[in-house]
């Protein structure tokens, strides 16, 4: 159901991938507190079950699926259709972190990162958006990263995968808005979460230390990002930038790219020294 002003009403059927921890769990909690039913999807059954146990209300689902698998996502769609006969909100959140210089990241790591971070979103879209089109309403939130808007050294494969999510979301927005389906893309910078548990990459130790420092020093956490994401998406915003400093950096990159690049180099050098 869509509110006349475009906001989704409480009591919706919501699916969140990567809901077993971190941002995904916080998103599930936020939706459940509003009175929504949430399908908590994770690669690990115990994590999905734990999230559901934390949710207020009833009617929630704990489901297991690998977003990197066509067959698993098709099976997930069948489970959701069997339980709910449709879907109102799709949050494509599941993803992994990786690092390494572009030329030194293995082909296998490039493929793994793109298969999960980009194609995992594509699979979610392919399986669940047709349900929304049949209903004539719905909301899709794709989780990307500020690295998908502004590339940074050491994040080549990750940034490319997230840039793909941004481009995908822009295309979806134009395709689906006339059909009554709203699309948002979330592009956070570093915040306190457990993303580094999945961090892999060639010579990744120095970069992982930098990322850990930036996460720890972030003024916001996963719960803050979750609340911002839901509120701003329901206000009709497409590009979601929860960090105030990234809004400034995004403006700078678009309007003063030379200055942005020089500041990027200084920023990376400073944080690399701090991590060391």
Return the SS3 of 264: helix
Q: State the Cα angle at 54 between 50 and 57, rounded to 5°.
A: 125
Residue 266 CA to its chain's centroid (Å): 28
Query: How large is the C-alpha radius of gyration of the chain?
Result: 18
Distance, CA of 47 to CA of 103 (rounded, Å): 35
Please give the helix or strand (H or E) that residue 21 lies within, else none.
none
Give catalytic status of residue 158 as yes or no: yes
Reduced to 3 states (helix: H, G, I; strand: E, B; else coil), residue 98 is strand
Rounded to whole angstroms, the Cα distance separating 54 from 119 reads 29
The token pair at 43 is 């690669």
Choosing from 31, 44, 158, 267, which is the catalytic residue? 158
Report the distance separating Cα 148 and Cα 186, nearest Å: 10
Q: Which two tokens stand for residue 130?
A: 């047709």
How far apart, in whole angstroms, are the C-alpha atoms of residue 134 and residue 131?
5
The catalytic residues are 158
């Amino acid at each position: 159901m869509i509110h006349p002003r475009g906001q989704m009403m409480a009591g919706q059927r919501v699916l969140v991938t990567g809901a077993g921890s971190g941002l995904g769990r916080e998103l599930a909690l936020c939706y459940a507190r509003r009175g929504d039913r949430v399908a908590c999807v994770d690669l690990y059954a115990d994590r999905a079950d734990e999230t559901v146990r934390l949710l207020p209300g009833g009617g929630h689902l704990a489901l297991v699926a690998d977003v990197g698998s066509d067959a698993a996502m098709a099976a997930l769609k069948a489970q959701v259709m069997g339980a709910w006969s449709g879907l109102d909100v799709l949050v494509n959140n599941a993803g992994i972190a990786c690092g390494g210089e572009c030329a030194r990241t293995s082909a296998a790591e490039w493929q793994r990162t793109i298969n999960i971070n980009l194609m995992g979103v594509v699979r979610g879209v392919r399986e669940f958006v047709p349900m929304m089109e049949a209903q004539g309403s719905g909301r899709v939130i794709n989780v990307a990263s500020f690295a998908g808007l502004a590339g940074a050294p050491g994040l080549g494969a990750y940034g490319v995968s997230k840039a793909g999510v941004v481009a995908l979301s822009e295309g979806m927005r134009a395709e689906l808005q006339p059909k009554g389906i709203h699309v948002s893309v979330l592009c956070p910078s570093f915040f306190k979460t457990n993303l580094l548990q999945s961090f892999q990459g060639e010579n990744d130790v120095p970069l992982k230390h930098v990322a850990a420092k930036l996460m720890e020093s972030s003024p916001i956490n996963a719960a803050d990002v979750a609340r911002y994401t839901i509120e701003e998406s329901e206000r009709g915003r497409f590009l979601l930038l929860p960090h105030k400093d990234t809004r400034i950096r995004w403006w700078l990159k678009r309007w003063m790219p030379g200055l942005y690049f020089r500041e990027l180099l200084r920023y990376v050098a400073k944080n690399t020294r701090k991590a060391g």
